[in-house]
Structure 1
Amino acid sequence: MRVRNVYLWCKRNVSDLVDDVLKIQAEAKAAGEDQADLLTDVNVRQVVADIFGAGIDTTVNTMNWCIAYMVNYPDVQTKVQKEIDDVIGQRLLTDKNKLPYCEAVIHEVMRIRTVLPLNVPHLTLEDTSVGGYNIPKGTQIWTNLWKLHMDEKYWMEPEQFRPERFLDEDGQALPKQDSFLPFSVGRRACVAEVLAKNEILLIFTCLFQQFTFLPAPGKEKPSLEPNFQALVTRCIPYEVVARERISGDSGT
């Protein structure tokens, strides 16, 4: 009876992903399916943790770094706003492929301050080898994305913030580089990569379409030094001013 009540409540009150997961779980239990054990309460909690940890926290941190870099590089912020003004004006973003400079800035932020520098741990399912090293089954693997993104073998002056490295001579986006892997690679790459890219670009363009970000009076500019906490590269907390823009005004 309890399962039936949960099922009826979920059926009437689905408003987000968590409700949907609970509905699916309740439907399976109500039907008495053997598959119900595959979506336990532990699984549900893990889904919610993944949403906040991988889906929200990483995006928030990326945007924090974007704002910090734009305040430190006002010339780049001006170029970003000019492209937004020229391409979309005051409309909502519908021209994703026509904003190469904005995307280049976001990519450069993702490279120079990789939010998940060691990715997330993976486990080998069988004995294998990489680069001449034998890796037994069940070995925990950590991928050093920070090292890849800061390797002089692939990036000229990697410590320098240069969005142009993602653009060709005509200012158009270059094909994706093998040495740029903020979402990892392969079948175990971030499943929400496409969603995350679109979400970050939408938030980024909306923010800089409407505001110019400046140092707060009497405060230092945001620090660009990485602040490593657990698995995440966070900004040192900072204060800035978000000045509302007049159309076409850089606000600087």
Structure 2
Amino acid sequence: MKSLFRIFIALNLWILSGSLLADVGTHIVETKISSNGQNYEYTGFIDYWDEDDKRPNLCFKKNFCMLDVAIKEIESNLHYTPRGISLNDISDLETIGEIGKLFKKKYPLPYKISGGSNTQYTPGNHCIAISFYLNGNVNHIGEITNFCKPAPPANLTCSITGNNNIEITPATSDEAKSGFKGGYIKIAIKCNLDATLYAYAYGEAGNRTVTLKPDGSLYAFLYFTSGEQGYEGKKINVKANKETLSSLNAYLQADSDVEPGPFHGSGVLILTTP
């Protein structure tokens, strides 16, 4: 039977620092010493934010409570606040996911973050933290705690290569509604050192599914072919200077009848350290 549908999912391949056990992901891309020699300057990104994250908003029903994004020095627990990257109107939002939806409207992802720290602190032992404050930027009441992790060892470098386009071709709308598994890509991971890594596959901006129609009625879940769901991640042990192979496919789902035609979506495949 000739297929009536052609589904294309393009995956961006990223290597990030820190852990992605939380449903918000960031990475720091550059560390340099300032021209006066007294500070380290950091540049990084908020890469994705899962709108289904059900963790509670610490500012819910609190007056004069805000969210702030900062470069954080982990050992001293100091926060270095980038100018203007904050949300004030979040007291009526119950979850971290709801905050993420609002955040992405104001600051489209990936969003660039810059900040600095005193040179007395270890370079590289910094992360991008999202924190909650009462009374402006005065009383720190908490943050997304498992979100702020140190960067991987500076001497560890890895690469990802392979096809990053998934194509799915179900024949009928009924097949799409009943769940259709298809598409297949293979990737190769190579590092200069022995390493334990984690791979994650998400929809765009951290959503657990890849949206294929703007109304959300056609979407796909990403799976590793060894069985793990993409957003839950897969542990991968890599030997120094040797390619380690992994592969993914997609599981198509439609909530209603879908007209024939091509559909496109995008996602991200992320490699990170524990």
TM-score by length of 1: 0.29
Higher relative contact order (CA 8 A, sep 6+): 2
Q: Which of structures 1 and 2 has the bigger CA Rg?
A: 1
Q: Which has the higher strand share?
A: 2
Q: Which has the higher helix share?
A: 1
